[in-house]
Copies of this chain bind each other. A is one copy, B any other.
Amino acid sequence: MSEREISSAVIRRLPRYYRYLGELLENNVVRISSKELSIRMKVTASQIRQDLNNFGGFGQQGYGYNVEYLHDEIGKILGLDATQNMIIIGAGNLGQALANYDFDRIGFKVIGIFDINPRLEGLAVRGVEIQMVDTLEQFIKDHEIHVATLTVPKKQARSIAKQLETWGIRAIWNFAPTDLHLSEDVCVKNVHLDESLMTLSYNLRHRGKEKYSYKSYMED
């Protein structure tokens, strides 16, 4: 099976397909055409078909796509079918908020929360007790963890990220407002909330000078 290079534009759209298909599934819709889905999602049918065909032919001519099948297949492509253990580094407001999220639903199980603040030690968030970071290395080894969420202050983010890398972490979901400099085989996904708000600020200020319309749905 030849692995072609999938563009990140396509990958970023997959979760949205997954979400819409999940909703169709909840509404007991059995099949859907790219045309119908394109209307609901406000994208072109062409794009949907192109995107999906990067991964294989999931539809059937004259019929469309089976909602449940397509939903599951996209889930597999995204890797949501296999559960990954995850830790959260930084148990501040955001870290605790994320710990309360139900990410199990998409294959991520929070099994550890870490901080340097001794006041937080032992405090349980969603059944997981906050531990001190000096136990982090051992914990990662003991539990075969490959994914870490980073919600520490900017100053500490880079050095902790480097350590996480040496301890075997392969993917970092980074909420610290800085770019991490790691080797290429560590996946980093940045969530820079302040930068997100800045783009909203831009659009608010320049609103009306141009058309924004539905495209904003896709600009993650």
Contacts and interface: CB of A to CB of B under 8 A. Distances in A.
A138 interface: no
- Most chain B Cβ neighbours within 10 Å, of A84, A107, A198, A203: A198
Contacts of A206: 3, 6, 79
Given A84-B201, A97-B94, A196 B191 contact: yes
Contacts of A215: 8
Interface string A1-44: 00101101001101110110000000000000000000000000
A163 interface: no
Interface of A: 3, 5-6, 8, 11-12, 14-16, 18-19, 77-80, 82, 84, 92-94, 96-98, 100-101, 103, 105-108, 146-147, 170-171, 173, 177, 179, 184-185, 187-213, 215-217, 219-220
Given A11-B203, A18-B198, A108-B197, 14 more contacts: A3-B206, A3-B209, A5-B210, A8-B219, A14-B198, A77-B202, A80-B198, A82-B205, A147-B204, A170-B204, A171-B201, A173-B197, A189-B197, A196-B220
